[in-house]
Protein backbone atom coordinates (compact mmCIF):
# COMPACT_ATOMS: atom_id res chain seq x y z
CA UNK A 1 0.00 0.00 0.00
CA UNK A 2 1.19 3.49 -0.88
CA UNK A 3 1.18 5.82 2.13
CA UNK A 4 0.16 9.05 0.42
CA UNK A 5 0.13 11.02 3.62
CA UNK A 6 3.68 10.04 4.55
CA UNK A 7 4.90 10.66 1.00
CA UNK A 8 3.35 14.12 0.94
CA UNK A 9 4.74 15.00 4.31
CA UNK A 10 8.24 14.01 3.28
CA UNK A 11 7.91 15.93 -0.01
CA UNK A 12 6.73 19.07 1.84
CA UNK A 13 9.74 18.80 4.14
CA UNK A 14 12.09 18.40 1.18
CA UNK A 15 10.50 21.39 -0.59
CA UNK A 16 10.91 23.51 2.54
CA UNK A 17 14.53 22.42 3.02
CA UNK A 18 15.44 23.15 -0.62
CA UNK A 19 13.72 26.56 -0.42
CA UNK A 20 15.64 27.26 2.80
CA UNK A 21 18.98 26.46 1.15
CA UNK A 22 18.18 29.04 -1.53
CA UNK A 23 16.88 31.62 0.95
CA UNK A 24 13.39 31.32 -0.54
CA UNK A 25 9.97 31.24 1.09
CA UNK A 26 8.48 27.74 0.55
CA UNK A 27 5.10 29.43 0.04
CA UNK A 28 6.39 30.61 -3.38
CA UNK A 29 6.49 27.00 -4.55
CA UNK A 30 3.38 25.04 -5.53
CA UNK A 31 3.31 21.30 -5.75
CA UNK A 32 1.55 20.03 -8.87
CA UNK A 33 0.64 16.37 -8.34
CA UNK A 34 1.06 14.59 -11.67
CA UNK A 35 -1.78 12.08 -11.80
CA UNK A 36 -1.39 10.50 -15.24
CA UNK A 37 -2.19 6.78 -14.97
CA UNK A 38 -3.67 7.32 -11.49
CA UNK A 39 -7.37 6.52 -11.09
CA UNK A 40 -9.84 9.14 -9.85
CA UNK A 41 -10.01 7.51 -6.36
CA UNK A 42 -6.32 8.07 -5.86
CA UNK A 43 -6.64 11.69 -6.98
CA UNK A 44 -9.49 12.13 -4.55
CA UNK A 45 -7.39 10.71 -1.73
CA UNK A 46 -4.64 13.22 -2.53
CA UNK A 47 -7.27 15.99 -2.65
CA UNK A 48 -8.49 14.97 0.78
CA UNK A 49 -4.95 15.34 2.07
CA UNK A 50 -5.05 18.96 0.90
CA UNK A 51 -3.64 18.93 -2.65
CA UNK A 52 -5.44 21.22 -5.11
CA UNK A 53 -3.08 21.33 -8.11
CA UNK A 54 -3.14 18.31 -10.40
CA UNK A 55 -1.29 17.77 -13.67
CA UNK A 56 -2.23 15.51 -16.58
CA UNK A 57 -0.50 14.98 -19.91
CA UNK A 58 -3.34 13.52 -21.97
CA UNK A 59 -6.61 15.28 -22.70
CA UNK A 60 -8.78 12.14 -22.90
CA UNK A 61 -7.47 10.75 -19.65
CA UNK A 62 -8.03 14.04 -17.83
CA UNK A 63 -11.56 14.36 -19.25
CA UNK A 64 -12.44 10.89 -18.07
CA UNK A 65 -11.35 11.63 -14.50
CA UNK A 66 -12.04 15.32 -13.88
CA UNK A 67 -15.84 15.08 -14.09
CA UNK A 68 -15.99 12.94 -10.93
CA UNK A 69 -13.64 15.13 -8.93
CA UNK A 70 -14.19 18.32 -6.88
CA UNK A 71 -14.67 21.54 -8.84
CA UNK A 72 -12.06 23.52 -6.90
CA UNK A 73 -9.17 21.52 -8.37
CA UNK A 74 -6.76 23.48 -10.55
CA UNK A 75 -5.97 21.27 -13.56
CA UNK A 76 -2.58 21.76 -15.19
CA UNK A 77 -1.99 20.53 -18.75
CA UNK A 78 1.64 19.40 -18.87
CA UNK A 79 1.81 17.24 -22.01
CA UNK A 80 2.24 17.98 -25.71
CA UNK A 81 -1.03 19.08 -27.32
CA UNK A 82 -1.85 17.86 -30.81
CA UNK A 83 -3.65 20.50 -32.87
CA UNK A 84 -6.81 18.47 -33.21
CA UNK A 85 -7.05 18.08 -29.40
CA UNK A 86 -6.58 21.76 -28.56
CA UNK A 87 -10.32 22.32 -28.56
CA UNK A 88 -10.77 19.89 -25.69
CA UNK A 89 -8.02 21.44 -23.58
CA UNK A 90 -9.70 24.80 -23.17
CA UNK A 91 -12.86 23.86 -21.22
CA UNK A 92 -11.00 21.55 -18.85
CA UNK A 93 -7.62 22.98 -17.91
CA UNK A 94 -6.91 26.09 -15.86
CA UNK A 95 -3.31 26.50 -16.99
CA UNK A 96 -1.30 25.01 -19.87
CA UNK A 97 2.42 24.46 -19.20
CA UNK A 98 3.13 22.91 -22.57
CA UNK A 99 2.72 25.68 -25.14
CA UNK A 100 5.51 24.69 -27.51
CA UNK A 101 4.77 26.61 -30.73
CA UNK A 102 3.26 29.88 -31.92
CA UNK A 103 0.82 27.87 -34.01
CA UNK A 104 -0.53 26.03 -30.97
CA UNK A 105 -0.79 29.30 -29.04
CA UNK A 106 -2.73 30.94 -31.88
CA UNK A 107 -5.09 28.01 -32.01
CA UNK A 108 -5.66 28.07 -28.23
CA UNK A 109 -6.18 31.82 -28.39
CA UNK A 110 -8.97 31.44 -30.95
CA UNK A 111 -10.55 28.70 -28.84
CA UNK A 112 -10.53 30.97 -25.78
CA UNK A 113 -12.64 33.65 -27.44
CA UNK A 114 -15.62 32.89 -25.22
CA UNK A 115 -13.66 32.29 -22.05
CA UNK A 116 -14.47 34.73 -19.24
CA UNK A 117 -10.77 35.44 -18.61
CA UNK A 118 -7.56 34.80 -20.58
CA UNK A 119 -6.14 31.28 -20.23
CA UNK A 120 -2.85 31.21 -18.27
CA UNK A 121 -0.04 29.57 -20.23
CA UNK A 122 3.65 28.79 -19.84
CA UNK A 123 6.08 28.51 -22.72
CA UNK A 124 7.80 25.12 -22.86
CA UNK A 125 11.50 25.10 -23.71
CA UNK A 126 13.59 22.18 -24.85
CA UNK A 127 16.69 23.27 -22.98
CA UNK A 128 18.58 20.00 -23.28
CA UNK A 129 17.94 19.82 -27.03
CA UNK A 130 16.95 16.14 -26.90
CA UNK A 131 15.09 15.11 -30.07
CA UNK A 132 12.45 13.34 -27.96
CA UNK A 133 11.40 16.56 -26.24
CA UNK A 134 8.99 19.27 -27.32
CA UNK A 135 9.46 22.98 -26.80
CA UNK A 136 11.00 26.13 -28.16
CA UNK A 137 14.75 25.99 -28.75
CA UNK A 138 16.45 27.66 -25.81
CA UNK A 139 19.09 29.84 -27.42
CA UNK A 140 19.90 33.06 -25.63
CA UNK A 141 19.67 36.33 -27.56
CA UNK A 142 17.84 34.57 -30.36
CA UNK A 143 16.04 36.96 -32.74
CA UNK A 144 13.62 34.29 -33.96
CA UNK A 145 12.64 33.48 -30.38
CA UNK A 146 12.09 37.14 -29.51
CA UNK A 147 9.89 37.51 -32.58
CA UNK A 148 7.88 34.43 -31.57
CA UNK A 149 7.49 35.64 -28.00
CA UNK A 150 6.37 39.04 -29.23
CA UNK A 151 3.48 37.31 -31.01
CA UNK A 152 2.70 35.11 -28.02
CA UNK A 153 2.46 37.87 -25.45
CA UNK A 154 0.14 39.84 -27.74
CA UNK A 155 -2.49 37.09 -28.01
CA UNK A 156 -5.53 38.61 -26.29
CA UNK A 157 -7.13 35.44 -24.90
CA UNK A 158 -3.98 33.87 -23.45
CA UNK A 159 -1.88 35.14 -20.57
CA UNK A 160 1.78 34.17 -20.47
CA UNK A 161 2.94 33.57 -16.88
CA UNK A 162 6.38 32.04 -17.31
CA UNK A 163 8.36 29.10 -18.64
CA UNK A 164 8.43 25.33 -18.32
CA UNK A 165 11.02 22.65 -19.05
CA UNK A 166 11.75 18.98 -18.50
CA UNK A 167 15.31 18.05 -17.61
CA UNK A 168 16.81 14.89 -19.10
CA UNK A 169 16.89 11.71 -17.04
CA UNK A 170 20.22 11.76 -15.19
CA UNK A 171 21.76 9.60 -12.50
CA UNK A 172 22.70 12.48 -10.22
CA UNK A 173 20.18 15.35 -9.88
CA UNK A 174 23.07 17.84 -9.83
CA UNK A 175 23.52 17.05 -13.53
CA UNK A 176 20.13 18.64 -14.19
CA UNK A 177 21.14 21.95 -12.57
CA UNK A 178 22.48 23.62 -15.74
CA UNK A 179 19.12 23.02 -17.44
CA UNK A 180 17.30 24.83 -14.62
CA UNK A 181 19.84 27.66 -14.54
CA UNK A 182 19.43 28.05 -18.29
CA UNK A 183 15.63 28.27 -18.06
CA UNK A 184 15.86 30.88 -15.31
CA UNK A 185 18.29 32.98 -17.37
CA UNK A 186 16.05 32.74 -20.38
CA UNK A 187 13.13 33.87 -18.23
CA UNK A 188 15.14 36.84 -16.96
CA UNK A 189 16.09 37.74 -20.50
CA UNK A 190 12.46 37.57 -21.69
CA UNK A 191 11.32 39.54 -18.66
CA UNK A 192 13.76 42.28 -19.59
CA UNK A 193 12.64 42.25 -23.23
CA UNK A 194 8.89 42.09 -22.44
CA UNK A 195 8.46 43.88 -19.10
CA UNK A 196 4.67 44.21 -19.55
CA UNK A 197 4.24 40.44 -19.29
CA UNK A 198 4.17 38.44 -16.06
CA UNK A 199 7.08 35.97 -16.14
CA UNK A 200 6.98 34.79 -12.54
CA UNK A 201 6.46 31.06 -13.05
CA UNK A 202 9.24 28.57 -13.61
CA UNK A 203 7.69 25.11 -13.95
CA UNK A 204 10.66 22.83 -13.51
CA UNK A 205 11.60 19.87 -11.34
CA UNK A 206 10.19 16.35 -11.22
CA UNK A 207 10.60 13.43 -8.79
CA UNK A 208 14.33 12.98 -9.33
CA UNK A 209 15.42 16.61 -9.50
CA UNK A 210 12.86 18.90 -7.82
CA UNK A 211 15.13 19.98 -4.98
CA UNK A 212 17.77 21.24 -7.40
CA UNK A 213 15.03 22.95 -9.44
CA UNK A 214 13.78 24.74 -6.32
CA UNK A 215 17.32 25.88 -5.50
CA UNK A 216 17.37 27.41 -9.00
CA UNK A 217 14.02 29.19 -8.72
CA UNK A 218 11.21 26.75 -9.55
CA UNK A 219 7.74 28.03 -8.57
CA UNK A 220 5.86 24.93 -9.80
CA UNK A 221 7.27 21.46 -9.26
CA UNK A 222 5.55 18.61 -11.08
CA UNK A 223 5.74 15.39 -9.08
CA UNK A 224 4.27 12.03 -10.00
CA UNK A 225 6.30 9.11 -8.73
CA UNK A 226 7.44 10.81 -5.50
CA UNK A 227 3.79 11.03 -4.43
CA UNK A 228 2.13 7.99 -5.95
CA UNK A 229 4.79 5.30 -6.46
CA UNK A 230 8.21 6.21 -5.10
CA UNK A 231 9.65 2.83 -6.09
CA UNK A 232 9.22 3.32 -9.84
CA UNK A 233 12.46 4.13 -11.65
CA UNK A 234 12.77 7.31 -13.78
CA UNK A 235 12.40 5.55 -17.12
CA UNK A 236 8.84 4.65 -16.06
CA UNK A 237 7.90 8.29 -15.62
CA UNK A 238 6.00 8.17 -18.90
C1 LIG B 1 5.16 12.48 -15.87
C2 LIG B 1 5.55 13.90 -15.85
C3 LIG B 1 6.01 14.51 -14.68
C4 LIG B 1 6.18 13.78 -13.37
O5 LIG B 1 7.25 12.88 -13.44
P6 LIG B 1 7.78 12.08 -12.15
O7 LIG B 1 9.16 11.72 -12.54
O8 LIG B 1 6.85 10.93 -11.99
O9 LIG B 1 7.72 13.02 -10.99
C10 LIG B 1 6.32 15.86 -14.73
N11 LIG B 1 6.20 16.58 -15.86
C12 LIG B 1 5.78 16.03 -17.01
C13 LIG B 1 5.68 16.88 -18.22
C14 LIG B 1 5.44 14.68 -17.04
O15 LIG B 1 5.01 14.13 -18.19
In this predicted model, what pLDDT tens digit does every residue of 203-212 receive, in sequence order? 999 999 999 9
**Ligand 1 lined by 183 (C-beta under 6 Å):** no
Half-sphere exposure in the Cβ direction for 206 (13 Å, CA): 21
Kindly give the distance from the C-alpha atom of residue 212 to the centroid of ligand 1, in angstroms, as a whole number.
15
Determine contact, residues 11/31, Cβ cutoff 8 Å.
Answer: yes
**Ligand 1 lined by 122 (C-beta under 6 Å):** no
The CA distance from 218 to 29, in Å, is 7
Pocket test for ligand 1, best of 222, 226, 229, 233 (most atoms within 8 A of CB): 222
DSSP state of 69: S
* pLDDT tens-place string over residues 23-71: 999 999 999 999 999 999 999 999 999 999 999 999 999 999 999 999 9
User: pTM score, two decimals?
Assistant: 0.96
Terminal Cα-to-Cα distance of the chain (whole angstroms): 21
Strand partners, 202: 163
The CA distance from 86 to 219, in Å, is 25
Amino acid sequence: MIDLKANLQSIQERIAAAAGRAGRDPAEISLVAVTKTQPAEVIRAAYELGLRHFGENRVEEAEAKAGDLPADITWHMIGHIQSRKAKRVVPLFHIVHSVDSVKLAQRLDRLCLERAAPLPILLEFNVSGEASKYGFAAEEEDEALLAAVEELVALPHLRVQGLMTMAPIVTNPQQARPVFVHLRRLRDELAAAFPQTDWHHLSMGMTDDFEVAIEEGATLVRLGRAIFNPDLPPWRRG
